A and B are shown apart, each in its own frame.
Chain A
């Protein structure tokens, strides 16, 4: 239980800055990326009318998220942002699931990953908003309904990044803390597999979906 707050880090000094990297998160993110690349290669390698296992799963992802993206954005924007939305979900769901394998840690258990993805979504959504509405109309929406509401509107937009990234981080972190504590209390007997199935597979899938859909919704709110 004493190891609860400890993380493995790499430290380096560069150009006057003292940089600290979370080694586990970086390694696990690279593992996820490698697995996804492998999956993509397998899914597209032998495309056939009678698909193999990987192609079925890949088509499932593509069809589901193409429908959701097209409903939220119009056809032209949907074509542009569909790869982002689909790959975001695939990355997150694999990240949340990998924690059920022993000695593997979820990259989403680290706030840096989720906050990074949240900030990415924030910039994409606001870039889309400026592109769709023009800079003048975009700036004007912050001064509504009255001009002195501007600071609160800006904080409201930044709070969206906080809420989307802390939701994912809190759920995955919370799940792993609960698994750790219960495993410690029951000496690893009987309960941990069920907890892993609930927090890793079930909550992990739901939260990955919520994160992806909210990123999509933030884009569509800015565009419309």
Chain B
């Protein structure tokens, strides 16, 4: 069975789109569900705070949703940008783009959901600090997402890079490998940074005066936790630029 060039590219693109939005949905949904669970836990014993808690939960969920939205954007781009002028190897680049975006969004969706949950718990404990908690939650969740954004960057590079005409096995493996490196490399940092943010937010609720110190400690810890994600970004960039 011989496949036309464009058929091959379309196949890679739709497969990548499926991976991208499918995997990305896992993380975003788990994170949002966690936030909703903690919100109901808070409301069980502080029902009078429902307005504040619901608002914080929705804002936190909107941030956790970002990973899913990125997956959807890459899937849409994969479905609409392929054209017949591209070389056959582009099919594998599209597959790699889907993997990079989808897998990297798993960890970051969960990681962004964790501080949202603990912010709801914290508001139940210390309603007067709710503005401080929401700010810290947004910073923590935003930083926890940065590896998903590296995944988004790698996916965009794989989508729009000018690729060589020759189809070689190392070239194919480098393109898919770049996607795998970024995707798997981003799962751990996303969850890890989320754990750091979760605990920082909850401890600020216990002791709001120490907010500045806790924020700084959280950011330093998250920067260290993110370093493995940055190693994967470097490796993925080297793999793409080497092709």
Contact indicator A177/B135 (Cβ below 8 Å): no
Residues on the B chain within 8 Å of A68, using CB: 135
Residues on the A chain within 8 Å of B142, using CB: 167, 210, 213-214
Mask, B138-166, CB within 8 Å of A = 1, is 11001101100110110000000000000
Contact indicator A170/B135 (Cβ below 8 Å): no
Q: State the CA gap A170–B76 with chains docked (Å).
A: 13
Q: Is the interface of A mostly helix, strand, loop or mixed?
A: helix
Which one, A28-36, A75-83, A155-163, is touching chain B?
A155-163
Contact indicator B63/A163 (Cβ below 8 Å): no
Contact indicator B139/A170 (Cβ below 8 Å): no
Residues of B219-237 whose CB lies within 8 A of A: 219-220, 223, 226-227, 230-231, 233-234
Contact indicator B73/A159 (Cβ below 8 Å): no
Residue of B nearest to A175 (CB): B69
Chain B interface, number of residues (Cβ within 8 angstroms): 35
Residues of B67-122 whose CB lies within 8 A of A: 69-70, 72-73, 76, 80-81
Q: Is the interface of B mostly helix, strand, loop or mixed?
A: helix
Question: 6 nearest interchain CB pairs?
Answer: A163-B146, A174-B69, A174-B73, A210-B142, A166-B149, A163-B149
Q: In the complex, given contacts A156-B230, A166-B152, A206-B62, what are 18 additional A-B residue pairs having Cβ atoms less than 8 angstroms apart?
A: A1-B80, A5-B81, A152-B231, A155-B230, A155-B233, A163-B149, A167-B145, A170-B149, A178-B69, A178-B73, A203-B62, A206-B63, A206-B138, A210-B138, A213-B135, A213-B138, A214-B143, A217-B139
B-to-A contact residues, CB < 8 Å: 59, 62-63, 66, 69-70, 72-73, 76, 80-81, 135, 138-139, 142-143, 145-146, 149-150, 152-153, 211-212, 215-216, 219-220, 223, 226-227, 230-231, 233-234
